[in-house]
Amino acid sequence: MTECLDTVPADMLERLLAERFSCRGFLRREIPPEVLSRLLEMAQRSPSWCNTQPWQLTVLEGAATDRLREEFVQYAADRVPVSDFPFPERYTGAHQDRRRECAWQLYEAVGVQRGDREASARQAAENFRFFGAPNVAVLTTGAELGVYGAVDCGVYVAHFLLAAQSLGLGAIAQAALASHSDFLRERLALPENRKIVLGLSFGYPDHDNPANSFRTHRADPASVVTRLS
């Protein structure tokens, strides 16, 4: 009996991991203040290097989200991306294969035909609309902390996403938002010594939205893990 009880936390975590997905369509429903507070409290339990907790989160709600959404769509339409952290130079091998598979799953779900650059560009622009989410957060780290600050922020993001899932919320981590760091720094009055890592759009998921109808695959652990004994 004790052995069965001991599996309960692992089973709950496994279920959250299996059910979580990158949400790209949200209901027009505000998150109650107490739910938002609980989400942030749960995410704050994230571990970090020497407990430095380098993340800072700027969270927008309601009208503030809508104002930034409108400005961001217009700004990103004709600007060259400039990010605080360099994006990958290229994707090759399995990384490229997985990236393409994810993209085509999304395009198929929303009806974008292969080769339709105009339609794919419209779908990409949804990033800057926050996919209609009522809330968006911008995550930053201290510039002096370098790569370790960014790594800690990545751990925080994972905890944020799982916490959101446990509360019945949908969320998506968006590197696309960080591709216009100057815009966000100015609009949100972020200090120069804070590097923008990414954005998080979140709210209650719209399960009827076609963009939420697919799930990405995960590699077999044996293909990415080397075990020594």
pLDDT at residue number 177: 98
Which region, left, alpha or beta, applies to residue 203 given φ > 0 means left and ψ of -120 to 50 means alpha? Answer: left
Q: Is 50 exceeded by the pLDDT of residue 208? A: yes
Q: Is 60 exceeded by the pLDDT of residue 48? A: yes
pLDDT at residue number 82: 94
pLDDT at residue number 4: 57
pLDDT at residue number 124: 95
pLDDT at residue number 1: 45
pLDDT digits (tens, 9 = 90+) for 78-133: 899 999 999 999 999 999 999 999 999 999 999 999 999 999 999 999 999 999 99
Full DSSP string of 144-182: GGHHHHHHHHHHHHHHHHHHHHHTT-EEEEEHHHHTBHH
- The 10 Å CB-count burial string (b at 16+, else e) for 86-123 is eeeeeeeeeeeeeeeeeeeebbebbebeeeeeeebeeb
pLDDT digits (tens, 9 = 90+) for 141-161: 999 999 999 999 999 999 999
Q: Is 90 exceeded by the pLDDT of residue 2? A: no
CB 81 within 8 A of CB 182: no
pLDDT at residue number 7: 82
pLDDT-derived band at 3 (thresholds 50, 70, 90) equals: low
What percent of the chain shows pLDDT beyond 70? Answer: 97
Q: Is 90 exceeded by the pLDDT of residue 203? A: yes
